[in-house]
Chain A
Amino acid sequence: MMTHVHSHEDCRQLLGMLSDYIDGELEARLCEEIEAHLADCENCRIVIDTLRKTVLLYQMPDPPELPEDVELRLFKALDLEPYLRKEPLAEPDEDA
């Protein structure tokens, strides 16, 4: 079994890999090294936990969508107002 000797140099090396680690983009060998380090280092556990939460927070839904007045002005600016109507066009007539 691999033993892990903790040093602050390990923490520093870990720092640059954290994003790749939480994105699952790090090779297995490095993941194992990081996990061994994390088992022994509370500070790094906190950093990685709060980094992950930071990303999750920003990925949570943000209510403001495109406001209607902004959309209307955009269509006006592009001279596309006739296409902004909400109601469907006339029914298709397959026989015509």
Chain B
Amino acid sequence: MRIRVTKSLSLASEQEEVVGSNDLDEQALVAALKAGDRAACAVMVKRFSPRIYRVALKLMGDPDEAEEVLQETFISACQHVRDFEGRSSLGTWLYRIATNAGLMRLRRRKLETVSIDDPVELEDGEVAPRQLIDWGWNPEKHALNEELRRVMDEAIAALPETLRATFILRDIEGLSTAETAETLGISESAAKVRLHRARMRLREYLTEYFAAHRASVAERGDHDDARP
């Protein structure tokens, strides 16, 4: 039996999204979600779950907890989609749900936030650099190896949660400053301050790593190809 594909979103969304198309217009998707269309829900999940999972994983630092945040996000989104007013994009709305869910879990967990070896903070909260060693390594020229990825993840995990969330949204997910601020429910200037503090702390952490690497290379007398 052949099925006629009508303009119904259900069929269109199944047809397109399950086979990997991303062409479905967001307004149509939101309208269908609000009308309770299950297929539209599947489209939303398929489209946004990789991004939401990535954010959750970076935020929580633990795959099991990231999965819980992921499920919580989409269960909440499907249940409350009628509350979505469309003032931001659907993606930003989902990021907000996921970030709130993740931050709440982190607070409940009362995660002991280990500062990155106590970076020097000035009286106005600015992070002053302690490490002034050039890395001698260019991200553009090298693929990331496993060790460096681990160190980068450690550095993110050591950030205070509010800085972590800001950095993940802005620099990893590529949201604009305005979208990041909206997602976190803070002003743009606050988002900028948090982003800068996060970056400076990460810089300190990574500089220590690169300095240690250079020292060990020098000790071995190897030719430093400038790659950790």
Contact = CB atoms under 8 A, between A and B. Distances in A.
Interface of A: 12, 15-16, 18-20, 25, 43, 46-47, 49-51, 53-60, 62, 64-66, 70-71, 73-75, 77-78, 80, 83-94, 96
B106 interface: no
Contacts of A46: 132-134
Which of A55, A88, A96 gathers most chain B CB within 10 Å? A55
Contacts of A91: 2
Contact of B49 (A12, A25, A58, A71): A71
Given A49-B134, A93-B2, A88 B128 contact: no
Contacts, number: 145
Give the interface residue-count category, chain B: 35 or more
21 contacts: A12-B122, A16-B196, A43-B132, A50-B134, A50-B135, A53-B137, A54-B202, A55-B199, A56-B139, A57-B139, A58-B167, A70-B63, A74-B67, A74-B71, A77-B75, A83-B39, A89-B3, A91-B2, A93-B2, A93-B4, A93-B5
A60 B15 CA distance: 32
Contacts of B45: 74-75, 78, 80
A79 to B, nearest CB: 8
A46 B206 CA distance: 13
A18 B3 contact: no
